[in-house]
Amino acid sequence: MVPWHVPCGGVCYGDGNLAFIENDWHTALLPVYLKAYYRDQGLMQYARSVLVIHNIAHQGRGPVDDFFFVDLPEHHKDLFKFHIGGDHFNIFAAGLKTADRVVTVSHGYAWELKTSEGGWGLHGIINENDWKLGHYGYTNYSLETLSSGKAKCKAALQKELGLPIHEDVPKGIDLIAKAIPWLMSQDVQLVRGWVGFSVKMAHRITAGADILLMPSRFEPCGLNQLYAMNYGTVPVVHAVGGLRDTVQPFDPFNESGLGWTFDSAD
């Protein structure tokens, strides 16, 4: 009875054109309950459910006997059965079977999910970003003042992090560039030191940087590349999932594009 007691913009539950949005397996039981306890009983016939897939790798799996914890009639048990990887209880599987619509967070991710083993008519909707610059940066700048504004942000960032404030810092990054392929083949781990997380500092680093490297092996959508483009920072990304959809490769002939992409990765 909870749906009738939660305010939803004045829409009368059960009678209005109501849509429930579920995100990943954590809320994928909602369309199952909507079917079992409402629609099958002649209630909420006009309500619809949309299940959004952010990351199909996490599915809410468990032993088959976990079905008895969801308080559903026995004949709904088959909805939760998923045989890939051995018989098990799968919340995501039940949500996918009962939702009215299934969407992903990008067109590319929907394409990647359409395999020969199964595709559910998925549609990609790009995750969006608030394109207004926030109050986190050292200074605001526009496309017209990008060069001077980013230089000010970089200088302020260098000062805050205790780095020398001049363009030609002799740290010799160029000297190790050729050694990187060999280094990565030596089964090494990259460790960076940072204590805690600061939204303000994250924005300031993005604003002060020239290039964002985002070599994700898979990325349902991704947000950092959106933040980077918002600050005029050039994204260099692996063309997978939402990165393929959101970063238009630079075309030197037409002088168009938003960043650089690469397709192959071992």
Q: Going residue by residue through the chain, which has 266 residues, state the pLDDT in tens, using 9 for 90 and above.
A: 455 555 555 555 544 568 889 999 999 999 999 999 888 888 888 888 999 999 887 888 888 888 889 989 888 888 887 766 667 888 998 999 999 999 988 888 887 777 554 344 445 566 777 666 666 667 778 888 888 888 888 888 888 877 777 766 555 556 567 777 887 787 776 655 566 778 888 888 888 888 888 888 888 888 999 999 999 999 999 998 889 889 999 998 988 999 999 886 55
Give the sign of the dihedral formed by CA 128, CA 141, CA 144, CA 232.
Answer: negative
pLDDT digits (tens, 9 = 90+) for 132-175: 666 666 777 888 888 888 888 888 888 887 777 776 655 555 65
> If residue 109 lies in a helix (H) or strand (E), which one and from where to where?
helix 107-113
How far is residue 92's CA from residue 97's CA, in Å, rounded to a whole number?
9
How far is residue 53's CA from residue 109's CA, in Å, rounded to a whole number?
9
pLDDT for residue 119:
43
Domain assignments of the chain as residue spans, ordered by start = 2-104, 146-262
| Long-range Cβ contacts of 238-242 (<8 Å, 24+ apart) | 238/214, 238/262, 238/263, 238/265, 239/263, 240/108, 240/112, 240/216, 241/106, 241/108, 241/109, 241/112, 241/216, 242/105, 242/106, 242/108, 242/109, 242/124, 242/126, 242/127
Pairing of strands 101-104, 48-53: parallel
pLDDT digits (tens, 9 = 90+) for 189-208: 665 556 677 888 888 888 88
How far is residue 212's CA from residue 159's CA, in Å, rounded to a whole number?
20
pTM for the predicted model, two decimal places: 0.57
pLDDT for residue 101:
93
Domain 2-104 identical in fold to domain 146-262: yes
User: In the CATH scheme, what architecture does the domain 2-104 have?
Assistant: 3-Layer(aba) Sandwich (3.40)
> If residue 228 lies in a helix (H) or strand (E), which one and from where to where?
helix 224-230
How far is residue 244's CA from residue 255's CA, in Å, rounded to a whole number?
19
How far is residue 32's CA from residue 22's CA, in Å, rounded to a whole number?
11
List the structure tokens of 126.
């790009």
Cβ neighbours for 224, distance < 8 A, ≥ 6 positions apart:
206, 212, 214, 235
N-to-C CA span, the chain: 53
How far is residue 121's CA from residue 97's CA, in Å, rounded to a whole number?
12
Q: How many CB atoms lie within 10 A of CB 213?
A: 12
Homologous superfamily assigned to 146-262: Glycogen Phosphorylase B; (3.40.50.2000)
